[in-house]
Chains A and B, each alone.
Chain A
Amino acid sequence: MALNKDQIAQRIARELRDGYYVNLGIGIPTLVANYIPAGMNVVLQSENGLLGMGPFPLTGEEDPDLINAGKQTITTVPGSVFFDSAMSFGMIRAGRVDLTVLGAMEVSQQGDIANWKIPGKMVKGMGGAMDLVASAQNIVVAMMHTNPKGESKLLQACALPLTGKRCVKRVVSDLAVLDIRDDRFHLLERAPGVSVDYIRERTAGELVVPDEVPEIQF
């Protein structure tokens, strides 16, 4: 069975370590916050100017001055701090954010990522994604392995305009966990009940498969 979005987030949460500062992108990455292990101290950075993002507010407690980068109303946790957008990207650029999780439309075997533009169709902009992928040391991409037409989104080379080059180190898809190194995808784990062949057929980029590929345990 392919993973659902919550299970992808649950698997990515295992990349968290105590004391990490983490930036979660919009979509599946946001769900990772729901799976931070109890007792682990992780501080969420929101690039519109907050360290220490908390859960959504209770109805009636929404504050229009307090939103996340997805423009959703949020809360803060004890120890939180606000700052301006230059400092926010300053701490990102300076490598202070330990883990960045974001979505992608395409990822290549070189670690290139495309997630901001579909020429002629989507003209929304890159937001902070280009800054994040250019500077973060540790980028995990959360994505579906294929597009709605069933075509692989893990490619030899991205076809869409790039967000960044050679920056993605790890991909967690609905089918597998893969590392990117030496210009190839390396299969690490597979979704429960999903065969290596099934993953191989849906990975257009070059895929290295070790002898043993364990299933993701939940």
Chain B
Amino acid sequence: MNKVVADARTAISDVQDGAVLMLGGFGLCGIPENCIAALVEKQVTQLTCISNNAGVDDFGIGLLLKQHQVKKMISSYVGENAEFERQLLSGELEVDLIPQGTLATRCLAAGYGMPAIYTPAGVGTEVAMGKEVRNFNGKDYLMELAFEADFAIVKAWKGDTHGNLIFRATSRNFNPLMAMAGKITIAEVEELVPAGTLDPDAIHTPGIYVNRIFQGVNYEKRIEQRTTRTL
């Protein structure tokens, strides 16, 4: 049951060119910083990245974009990244924009072993093009397929040697959903503890979903929009 690997480089060592990756996080909150850095170092290319956002120019998935490692992004919102916009408009980058709840629920479906879900999001819009529409109780819904990803790469606050994970505050976001949804799930954590240390009632992601876990290092946890009030 010991899922522990040495570091990010080891954890992502078998990610090949053309892999489909899920990357947790909302904006820069709760992103797997160590694994992204290792992917940049490994220089794998032609990646498909399923992630709510695409980072900023010099952090998060933006680092992969800058090196032209990404072939396709599947996201709900990709503002805040000039390089992304440039690659998209020039045709270098393929982008599939999908509603945020649909993105989350397609992860959930994969983790729950369900092939598809029905959602009203996008009915009557260009998101519905080519999709099955089904009417339940007088309302139309789109059929959306569960994601298939080679690797899910997530960031947790605490984890144990069995791969059980606990997330903190809003850095939870897509992380537990993606953790359930990858063929291989890699978790980097701020604090790795021995199995038996975490309160079983407090665990968000059961370790059965996690294949590899490691103690992350040097977290920057960059804030995208620092907003404050005065007394």
Contacts and interface: CB of A to CB of B under 8 A. Distances in A.
A48 B170 contact: yes
A131 interface: yes
Contacts of A90: 105
B171 A65 contact: yes
Given A123-B89, A161-B126, A163-B125, A128 B76 contact: yes
Nearest to B27: A71
Given A48-B170, A89-B100, A128-B99, A123 B78 contact: yes
Contacts of B123: 134, 164-165
Nearest to A75: B229
Interface stretch (B11-19, B42-50, B218-226): B218-226
Given A49-B170, A72-B227, A82-B172, A134 B29 contact: no
B177 to A, nearest CB: 5
A177 B3 CA distance: 58
A66 B76 contact: no
Interface stretch (B63-71, B114-122, B145-153, B209-217): B114-122
Interface residues of A, number: 52
B176 to A, nearest CB: 5
Given A84-B175, A131-B102, A64 B27 contact: no
Contact of A84 (B102, B173, B227): B173
B223 A73 contact: yes
Interface in B26-85: 26-30, 52, 75-80, 85
A124 B28 CA distance: 16
B8 interface: no
A130 B229 contact: no
Interface in A71-90: 71-74, 82-86, 88-90
Contact of B127 (A55, A56, A89, A130): A130
A125 B76 contact: yes
A84 B177 contact: yes
B230 interface: yes
Contacts of A163: 125
Contact of B230 (A58, A68, A85, A123): A58
Contacts of A134: 119-123
B71 to A, nearest CB: 17
Contact of B173 (A48, A112, A129, A165): A48
A125 B228 contact: no
B194 interface: no
B123 to A, nearest CB: 6
B108 A64 contact: no
A85 B27 CA distance: 13
Contacts of A50: 169-170
A68 B120 CA distance: 24
A124 B78 contact: yes
B85 A123 contact: yes
Given A57-B229, A65-B168, A73-B227, A135 B121 contact: yes
Given A55-B229, A124-B77, A128-B99, 4 more contacts: A72-B225, A84-B174, A86-B108, A135-B120
15 contacts: A49-B170, A67-B225, A71-B28, A83-B172, A84-B174, A89-B105, A93-B101, A125-B97, A126-B99, A126-B127, A129-B99, A131-B101, A134-B120, A162-B124, A162-B125
Q: Which 10 A-B pairs have the closest CB atoms?
A: A89-B101, A131-B101, A165-B124, A124-B79, A85-B104, A134-B120, A64-B221, A130-B99, A71-B27, A128-B100
